[in-house]
Amino acid sequence: MNPSLPPLLAEINALISRPPASSISGLDVDPEDRYCTEEVKFPYSTTLEEYTGISFDTIPPVLVLNEEEWQLLADAFKQLFNALNISISDLPDDYPEEEFVELIRDHWDAEMIYYKCVGYDLSCCTGNNKTCPYGKECLYCGPEAIHPDEIFKPGYGGLFRDDGTQVDPLTVHIPELCLDCVSFLDEDRERNILCTLSRMSYDGTEEFICHAFQRENKNEE
């Protein structure tokens, strides 16, 4: 086995067994409840190196590992992310594990953003398919990605605030409650407009309340 791998795996397993104090694992968070109270403070952004304490220099490149070794490392990274509540929101399905290991290594010093009651998210898409690590498989900049011109913009005159300022619907804040609502998730034109107008009125100072909220039935096929 590559001599750098055993100490790295041991360090990862130690973190899995005893996550850092800043990890939200162990908090009593109801997955059906979008609102929760956290008992710890989190930096808004950090990196994998800062969060885990594992130096980039200890992670060997895939080229020096055999198949069994990079599979072990891929499994260890996935278990670590699960233990520390870290996700990669733009990771394509069935992404090759060999490339996954290199992806994590390449982004070990990349910024992660923290989302309340969810954890840290590491986004790797660059927005340019020529430089994106996912290539043609990327859901955000690949050939199958939805082009901004194809996204519905309601009305000929657009949307405006009370002071006359025009609003780009794509820039309106999305409260976490909306992520479970059929009005936000489906493609109904009228529902989408009403949803956007409700979100435009939210100033972020108080809890977001939407009287039209209707939870998505995830059991429907």
**Tens of pLDDT, residues 58-84:** 999 999 999 999 999 999 999 999 999
The pLDDT confidence band at residue 139, using thresholds 50, 70 and 90, is confident
The total of other beta-carbon atoms located within 10 Å of residue 147's CB is 6
In this prediction, residue 119 carries a pLDDT of 81
0.75 exceeded by the pTM? no
In terms of pLDDT, which residue wins out, 166 or 36? 166
Q: Are residues 117 and 41 in the same domain?
A: yes
Q: Are residues 115 and 173 in the same domain?
A: no
CA 56, 59, 63, 67 torsion-angle sign: negative
- Which of 137, 158, 177 represents a domain boundary (last residue)? 137
The pLDDT confidence band at residue 204, using thresholds 50, 70 and 90, is low
Q: Are residues 64 and 129 in the same domain?
A: yes
- Which of 137, 172, 195 represents a domain boundary (last residue)? 137
Q: Are residues 215 and 130 in the same domain?
A: no
Has residue 145 been placed in a domain? no
Has residue 70 been placed in a domain? yes
In this prediction, residue 93 carries a pLDDT of 85
Q: Are residues 133 and 155 in the same domain?
A: no
Helix (H, G, I), strand (E, B) or coil at 54: coil
pLDDT at 207 over 90: no
Q: Are residues 114 and 166 in the same domain?
A: no
pLDDT at 37 over 60: no
Q: Are residues 121 and 190 in the same domain?
A: no
The position carrying tokens 């300022």 is 165
Cβ neighbors of 196 (< 8 A, separation 6 or more) are 154, 159, 169, 172
Q: Are residues 34 and 61 in the same domain?
A: yes
Q: Are residues 70 and 164 in the same domain?
A: no
Q: Are residues 12 and 118 in the same domain?
A: yes
Question: Which residues span the domain enclosing 77?
Answer: 5-137
In this prediction, residue 210 carries a pLDDT of 74
Q: Are residues 38 and 95 in the same domain?
A: yes
**Tens of pLDDT, residues 180-197:** 777 666 666 677 777 777
**Tens of pLDDT, residues 2-35:** 999 999 999 999 999 988 765 544 444 444 444 4
**Tens of pLDDT, residues 94-121:** 899 999 999 999 999 999 988 766 788 9
In this prediction, residue 31 carries a pLDDT of 46
Looking at the 3D structure of the chain, how many domains does it have?
A: 2
Q: Are residues 36 and 127 in the same domain?
A: yes
Has residue 143 been placed in a domain? no
What's the mean pLDDT in 116-131? 85
Q: What is the dihedral of CA 198, 201, 203, 204, to 10 degrees?
A: -10
Has residue 142 been placed in a domain? no
Has residue 144 been placed in a domain? no
In this prediction, residue 193 carries a pLDDT of 76
DSSP state of 166: E
In this prediction, residue 143 carries a pLDDT of 85
**Tens of pLDDT, residues 141-163:** 888 776 555 544 444 456 676 67
